[in-house]
Structures are given as structure tokens and as C-alpha cells.
Amino acid sequence: MLLGKKIILGISGSIAAYKSASLTRLLIKAGAEVQVLMTPSAQDFITPLTLSTLSKKAVFTEVSSESAWNNHVELGLWADAMVIAPATATTLAKLANGLCDNILAAAYLSARCPVFFAPAMDLDMWHHPATRSNVSRLQGYGNHLIPVGVGELASGLSGEGRMAEPEAIVAHLEQFFDQSKDLSGKKILLTAGPTYEPIDPVRFIGNRSSGKMGVALADAAARRGAIVTLILGPSKLSPAEQNVQVIRVETAQEMHDAALQAFATADAAILAAAVADYRPKTVATEKIKKKGEELQLDLIKNPDIAAELGQLKKTGQLLIGFALETNDEESNAQGKLERKNFDFIVLNSLRDAGAGFNHDTNKISILFKNNKRRDFELKSKNAVADDILQAMIDLFKYNNS
Ligand code: C5P
């Protein structure tokens, strides 16, 4: 799975850097091409010579030296993945804040590939709120945390903070690249973003949905090999993956028409859009002028796209919905799951910090038809997207078994 993969291994200054030698060896053995970058303090723990010998490539320790400029932008584009192991508290703080005073940080800021970081530090440093916040910011940017191990630490303390073992880091990367094609050939329809319901030529009824969750789902599904159609309401965002077919719409009615058409040939639909339930009964052809103290707007119901797709759903097709709730979360979501004939519903509560509109993170629970429920931790929307897709893949497999 790592055969031919180009991997940047960024090493920062922790005693765990001694494990970077065996990590390099394992990556090379798995067929990867490894470019090692070291921070100045990493060299206090392990020498560039050891790592260049193992990686069969010159190690970069500076952005520029007397004789050369090490092009971090090129490096950032070259790599299929960047792994920062060990990632010290200082390096996490720098990366979380965009500080760029060494080759590792420069390559990180230039990297377009997925980035993994394996922290290593003492127990109390790991639990400090500053570190916690840096880690969740990095996850919020879409970077992948390779969880720390628990056990004896170099300080003599015992607890959380040990860098994951090189074998575990390699397994993490293998799993990432392995899952990358598990939706190969599947046609996935997504709705995302808000809808705008016009009142007159300049005004509309809308909502605060950013489209982030739906766009993250579209990108994640495309990375995993799916043929993705994204019906996107007015959102500033676009998917990063090239092979997502984007249909831009504005109103619920337009989203409805596009969704019905695409659903006919889809294997699954994930409805992440925040669709306006009502629209103005008439749309004024000219801008409405300011008149009395009150203005009455008559609203009529929009089509419920989810409910209609639920009616049309054929054996083998999956329909997945979202419920963003502020109160009575579980019973509201359960009601929607049944009414709209979803296979599962993704619940997020606006009461959870870091969940819902506009955040880079989300905290979800998945409710299934058989009253089963899975709760997930607060994660980046990219990581949440992979959890949702994994639940969908498990259901595809279960239905075919
Ligand atoms: O708005 P509500 O909470 O009912 O949304 C639940 C689910 O139904 C979401 O997945 C949403 O995308 C979908 N929905 C829809 N068409 C609507 C309203 C909601 O597809 N008119």
C-alpha cells in the first residue's frame, strides 16, 4: 500500500526521535520514497547521517544553506503524505499558529497532501490546555492525529504522551492509503450548503450553513474512489478534489430537481444540505420598497427532498440524512430517520461546542434504524466525513452479505 508513495518525514526535537530511524527503515521497506526533514533541535537527538543512510536521500535541515535553497514549496507538492514524528509541543504550537522558522514548518505550510502528526511529550505537557488547543486546531485544519501511546515516559513519569511506535505509524498510513479506494465505482450523490429563497431581486431567506461538512464529504468520497455528484447551494466553498461533479443551485426547488434526477442512478445519497423549509409565496419582480411599520411575507412549503428520495429509494440504495438540533436531539433525529426513510441519520447538536455551522470541527452521533447509536468525539470535518463514509460502507457490506 505504501509502494511508490512519496513521504516527507518531519522530525522535531524529542527523545522519541531515536524511533525515527526505525520508522524510516520501515517506510523504505514498505516501498515508500522518504524525504527526511529535521528541525535544528532534532539533530541533538539523532544525526542526519543516520537518517540519510537509511532513507538513501540527503536529509534537509535548513531552508537554505550556503550552497543551496531547499525548495519547500516543491517538496510540499511532491509528497503523497507528510508525517511529523515525533511532533513536539513546540512544533505543534508552531504549526497550529503558522509560524515558519525551519524547514519542517515551511514544508508543512506548503504541503497539499494529507499530513499526519505523532506527538511525543511528557504527560503534563500533553494534557496542558495549550497543547490540547493546538492539537484540535491542527485537526481542525484537516491534519490527522496519530494517537499517543500510554506508558513509561523518558521523564520517569508514566501516562499518556509517548510517541506511537513506528509500526503503529506505518499501520496508520497503510490504513489511510488502503481505504482510499474502497468506494471505487460507487455513485454518491451529496447535497450541501444552504438554500436561498428569493423575496425580491435583491433579498432572500437563507441560513448560516457554510457547506463545509458536505464539501468535506464530497472530497473524502472522491478520494476513496467514488463517482461524486455534489449539489451545492450558495456556498463560498468548492471541493478540492478534481473529480467531483458540482451542480450549483440556489433554491430548494432547484436542489430538489437536480437531486431527483441524480438519485435515479446513485448507489447512495447523503443529504447534508440545510434546505429552507419554506419560501416566499410570490417573488416580487422589483425591489420591495420600505413602507409601513410591518411587512407581511406569505411563505409556502418547499419540497422535502429527503422525504421524496426516501419514497423513491430502491433496494440496494442507501439514503443518509443529517439532523442539526438544538433540543430533544435524539427524539427529533429518530423521528426524521423514520419519516424520511433514512438508513441512518447523522445527529449534531448546536449545544456541543465546536459542532454545527461554520466550524472546522464537528461532533456527531449516528442513529441507525435498529435503535443502535454510535457517538463520536469532536473531530475535524474531514475526519468526521471519513467516519460517516465508513458507516455507509459497512452498511453496503452488511446489505450485500
Ligand atoms: O430540515 P430537517 O432537520 O428536516 O433536515 C433533515 C434532513 O432532511 C437533512 O438531511 C436535510 O438535508 C434533509 N432535508 C431535505 N429537504 C428539505 C428539508 C430537509 O432534503 N426540504
| pLDDT tens-digit series, residues 72-92 | 778 888 999 999 999 999 999
Calculate mean pLDDT across residues 32-60.
97
Q: How far apart are CA 32 and CA 26, in angstroms?
A: 9
Q: Is the entire prediction scored with pTM above 0.75?
A: no
pLDDT for 379: 83
- Residue bearing the CA closest to ligand 1, atom 8: 306
207 carries an active-site annotation? yes
Given the CA of residue 272, which atom of ligand 1 is nearest to it?
Answer: 12
Average pLDDT, the chain: 92
Tell me the CA–centroid distance for residue 8 and ligand 1, in Å.
Answer: 42
| pLDDT tens-digit series, residues 225-249 | 999 999 999 999 998 887 899 999 9
Q: What percent of the chain has pLDDT over 90?
A: 77
pLDDT for 70: 63
pLDDT for 65: 66
| pLDDT tens-digit series, residues 243-275 | 899 999 999 999 999 999 999 999 999 999 999
The three-point CA angle 112-10-83 to 5° equals 55
The finding on whether 319 has its CB within 6 A of some atom of ligand 1 is: no
**DSSP structure string for 13-55:** SSGGGGHHHHHHHHHHHTT-EEEEEE-GGGGGTS-HHHHHHHH
Tell me the CA–centroid distance for residue 139 and ligand 1, in Å.
Answer: 28
For a ligand 1 pocket test, name from 235, 312, 340, 366 the mutation site with the most ligand atoms within 8 angstroms of its C-beta. Answer: 340
Place of cell 505543534: 92
| pLDDT of 69 higher than 70 | no
Quick one: cell of 235?
456556498
Tell me the CA–centroid distance for residue 322 and ligand 1, in Å.
Answer: 7
Rounded to 5 degrees, φ, ψ at 355 are -110, 155
**What is the 3 state secondary structure string of 210-275?**
CCHHHHHHHHHHHHCCCEEEEEECCCCCCCCCCCEEEEECCCHHHHHHHHHHHHCCCCEEEECCEC
- Of 107-121, 184-198, 301-315, 353-367, which range is least confident? 353-367
CB atoms < 10 A from the CB of 1, how many? 15
Given the CA of residue 332, which atom of ligand 1 is nearest to it?
Answer: 3
pLDDT for 200: 97
pLDDT for 140: 78
| pLDDT of 24 higher than 80 | yes
- For residue 377, name the pLDDT band (cuts at 50, 70, 90): confident
- For residue 68, name the pLDDT band (cuts at 50, 70, 90): low
Tell me the CA–centroid distance for residue 69 and ligand 1, in Å.
Answer: 53
Helices (H), 315-380: 329-339
The finding on whether 273 has its CB within 6 A of some atom of ligand 1 is: yes
CATH numbers and ranges of domains, the chain: 6-179 (3.40.50.1950), 187-400 (3.40.50.10300)
The finding on whether 322 has its CB within 6 A of some atom of ligand 1 is: yes
- Is it true that the peptide bond before 40 is cis, omega within 30 degrees of 0? no
| pLDDT tens-digit series, residues 340-362 | 999 999 998 877 777 767 677 88
pLDDT for 333: 95
pLDDT for 325: 87
pLDDT for 175: 85
The finding on whether 345 has its CB within 6 A of some atom of ligand 1 is: no
Given the CA of residue 273, which atom of ligand 1 is nearest to it?
Answer: 12
- Of 142-146, 216-220, 378-382, which range is least confident? 378-382
- Among residues 71, 143, 207, 399, the one annotated as catalytic is 207
Q: Which amino acid is at 211?
A: G
Handedness of CA 369, 373, 377, 383 (dihedral sign): negative
Exposed / middle / buried, residue 376 (Cβ in 10 Å: 0-12, 13-18, 19+) = middle
Give the residues across from 246 on adjacent strands.
230
